[in-house]
Structure 1
Amino acid sequence: MTVKDITKILEELAPLAHAEEFDNVGLLVGNNDMNVSGLLVTLDTLENVIDEAITKKCNMVVSFHPIIFNGLKKITGSNYVERVVIKAIANNIAIYSMHTALDNSNIGVNAKICEVLDIQNPKILIPKQGTIKKLTTYAPLANAEAIKSALFAAGGGSMGKYSNCSFSTEGLGSFKSSKGANPTLGKIGEIHFEKEEQINMIFSFEREKDVLNALFKSHPYEEVAYEITILNNTNQDIGMGMVGTLGHEMEELDFLKEVKKRMNASVIRHSQLLGKKVKRVAVLGGSGAFAITAAKKANADVFITSDLKYHQFYEAEQQLVLADIGHFETEQFTKDLLVDYLIKKIPNFAISLSESITNPIKYL
């Protein structure tokens, strides 16, 4: 398999289009056409991880965090980022990062936290805006079904647990072709009237290119009439964080002790306990202070995240308990998620879970 083959599989789980604009995801080092002999999955790509890849004869590293975040103006080995890039290139090792593309997946980072903590029926906490689009086009009645089938195959009409969704109305279209045109129907210079079907179909924003290619290939007209609209509808499949319920209510302190145990957290920094039962829990792997308001709006009893600053604990405002369990701790099971996913997709391929320690924070 090539690097391109591997990345195609990974992007079925977390399309790069779902990443945040500030992020640096995708293939960071290497060649798409390179043959891959083995994969090493890690949370961070550090020098010890590259050494581990060399030892295990893995020439591709799949990393959650990107080793290159800001632009590199020179690569001289003056810092850990440059040294990793130099060593990877010298040993012909490709590096691919997923980061916020996987954060925004409804089966990604936060879904894994929910699985570990047995949080049931999790839903996206902060849906990503502008990710649902609608195609409206017009087709001769005789061609409408074939066009819809082509659009469905390209990912049109799919959202959540439903697919092949569309809405159509029939009407009378008109057009007049000018000299030099090659009309499928009608004569040049004459107004032509045709019974047509108006086809309306939603699709996820990253499929726009595929949907339009399918439309143009399947439509009989030389000039295809269509429009694309960005919808404000909530997308239940793409977004940051998750919120769900516990199987049974727990005392706050008992719940935090269980979180500490299951998430292998050395310490939990938390806001004031409220003396309430915990039933509804919100989670967001990595730095999640921006989601405190969303967690309160979702009526969460506890919000589990990391990297909270002193004054941000005040934002709990006695509405919920904020629990900072550590950045690494919230994301540590992500590499297990990726290994399990890859083994299912390519079961007879050499896939290794990194054993290198990459957590930069130590506890006394």
Structure 2
Amino acid sequence: MIIKEIIEVLESFAPLEYAEDFDNVGLLVGDPGKELSGVLIALDTLEAVVDEAISTDCNLIVSFHPIIFGGLKKLTGRNYVERVVIKAIQNNIAIYSMHTALDNHFDGVNARICEVLGLQNRQVLIPRKGSLKKLTTYVPLKDAEALRMSLFNAGAGHVGNYSHCSFSSSGTGSFKGESDSNPTLGERGKLHEEEEIQLHITYTRDLEQKVLKALFDSHPYEEVAYEVITLDNTYQRIGMGMVGELNSPMEEKEFLQFVKERMNCGGIRHSELLGKEVRKVAVLGGSGAFAIDAAKAAKADFLLTGDIKYHQFYQAEGKMVVADIGHYESEQFTKNLLAEYLTKKIPNFAVRLSEINTNPIKYF
């Protein structure tokens, strides 16, 4: 097995198209064509993690956070980022990052927090815009069903809990093949009219290449007429954060103690308690202050996230409690999620969890 094959498995779960535009995801260091000796999964790629990969004969580190975020203009070992990259290259170790591709996944980072806390009826807190596209094409009546099924098999036509969704209308298409054409129907140089189906079908943008390949492979015409547009529709399967409900309501202090124990928090900073029961909870792994307004709009009683600044606690405005449980703490179970997925997909290959605690924040 080569590194590229593991990458394909990872991206079948969390496509890089899910990642935010500002992010730096994918293979950051290394040759995808190298033979794979072992996979080490970590939250962060630090020097100690590279040393761990060397000692355990793992030449691929799958890291949640990207070690390279901004541009690297020099590699002189002057900071921890450059030292990690140099050591990885010297020891032929590849580094792959998932980050916001996994943040935006419905069964990703925030889903795991919901599982740990036992939250039910979960929904995406901030659905990602531009995740849905619509394909419109025109096909002869006799070929319409075969084309439709080919597009379904490529993953198009999923709407919420439904699959095989499409819409079609009939009409008459016209065309005339020029001198270099090789028309499937009609004759070169003569105007031809054909009873056609106009087919509309939606898909998520990560499937675009696969869907268009299915279109071109299955369409009978030499030149395929088609249109692709990006939809503004909300898509509830991709986006940041999640909101869910507790099985049974809790008092606020009881809930904070519950979260502290389940999430292994050294401490929880929070806005003013409101003296009401906690039923609905919003979560967002990592730095989630940007989700405060969305959590209020969802009528959450609590928002659990990390990296909240002083003035951002005021944004709770007495409508909910904002709780900073720590950046690392909110994402700590991510590596378990990845290890479980890879072990399930490639059960005969060793996947190791890093034993290095990469949390830079300590509690006194």
TM-score > 0.5 by shorter chain: yes
Calculate percent identity across the aligned residue pairs.
64
Structure 2 CA distance for aligned equivalents of residues 19 and 180 of structure 1: 43
Aligned amino acid, residue 60 of structure 2 = M
Structure 2 CA distance for aligned equivalents of residues 98 and 14 of structure 1: 8
The match for 2:146 is 146
Aligned amino acid, residue 314 of structure 2 = Y
Deviation at 1:188, TM superposition (A): 2.8
Structure 1 CA distance for aligned equivalents of residues 145 and 3 of structure 2: 37
Moved more, 148-157 or 305-314: 148-157
Q: How many residues align structurally?
A: 364
1:249-293 CA-partner distances (Å, limit 9, x unpaired): 110110011001100001100000001110000000000000000
The match for 1:343 is 343
After superposition, where does 1:187-266 map in structure 2 within 5 Å?
187-266=187-266
The match for 1:311 is 311
Deviation at 1:314, TM superposition (A): 0.3
Q: Secondary structure at the match of 1:256?
A: helix
Structure 1 CA distance for aligned equivalents of residues 99 and 184 of structure 2: 48
Structure 2 CA distance for aligned equivalents of residues 343 and 298 of structure 1: 36
The reply on whether 1:64 has 2:64 as its aligned counterpart is yes
The match for 1:3 is 3
Aligned amino acid, residue 8 of structure 2 = K
Q: Secondary structure at the match of 2:120?
A: strand
The match for 2:330 is 330
Structure 1 CA distance for aligned equivalents of residues 241 and 11 of structure 2: 19
Unaligned runs of 5+ in 2: none
Contact 1:157 1:202 in 2 (8 A): yes
Structure 2 CA distance for aligned equivalents of residues 7 and 348 of structure 1: 17
Deviation at 1:85, TM superposition (A): 0.7
1:173-202 CA-partner distances (Å, limit 9, x unpaired): 122222322211112333211111111100
Aligned amino acid, residue 6 of structure 1 = I
Moved over 6 A (4+): none
The reply on whether 1:183 has 2:195 as its aligned counterpart is no
TM-score where L is the length of structure 2 = 0.98
The match for 1:275 is 275
Contact 1:159 1:204 in 2 (8 A): no
Aligned amino acid, residue 115 of structure 1 = E
Moved more, 239-248 or 228-237: 228-237
Moved more, 158-167 or 283-292: 158-167
Aligned amino acid, residue 237 of structure 1 = R
Aligned amino acid, residue 309 of structure 1 = K
Structure 1 CA distance for aligned equivalents of residues 184 and 338 of structure 2: 49
Aligned amino acid, residue 248 of structure 1 = S
Q: Secondary structure at the match of 1:33?
A: coil
Q: Secondary structure at the match of 1:187?
A: coil
Structure 1 CA distance for aligned equivalents of residues 176 and 351 of structure 2: 60
Structure 2 CA distance for aligned equivalents of residues 280 and 77 of structure 1: 47
Deviation at 1:154, TM superposition (A): 1.7
Q: Secondary structure at the match of 1:234?
A: coil
Contact 1:137 1:199 in 2 (8 A): yes
Structure 2 CA distance for aligned equivalents of residues 158 and 3 of structure 1: 31
Contact 1:125 1:243 in 2 (8 A): yes
Aligned amino acid, residue 75 of structure 1 = L
Structure 2 CA distance for aligned equivalents of residues 57 and 342 of structure 1: 18
Structure 1 CA distance for aligned equivalents of residues 116 and 70 of structure 2: 33
Deviation at 1:322, TM superposition (A): 0.3
The match for 2:96 is 96
Structure 2 CA distance for aligned equivalents of residues 113 and 176 of structure 1: 59
Aligned amino acid, residue 265 of structure 2 = A
Contact 1:281 1:302 in 2 (8 A): yes
Unaligned runs of 5+ in 1: none
Structure 2 CA distance for aligned equivalents of residues 11 and 190 of structure 1: 47
Structure 2 CA distance for aligned equivalents of residues 49 and 325 of structure 1: 24
The match for 1:21 is 21
Deviation at 1:302, TM superposition (A): 0.3
Structure 1 CA distance for aligned equivalents of residues 13 and 217 of structure 2: 27
Q: Secondary structure at the match of 2:208?
A: helix
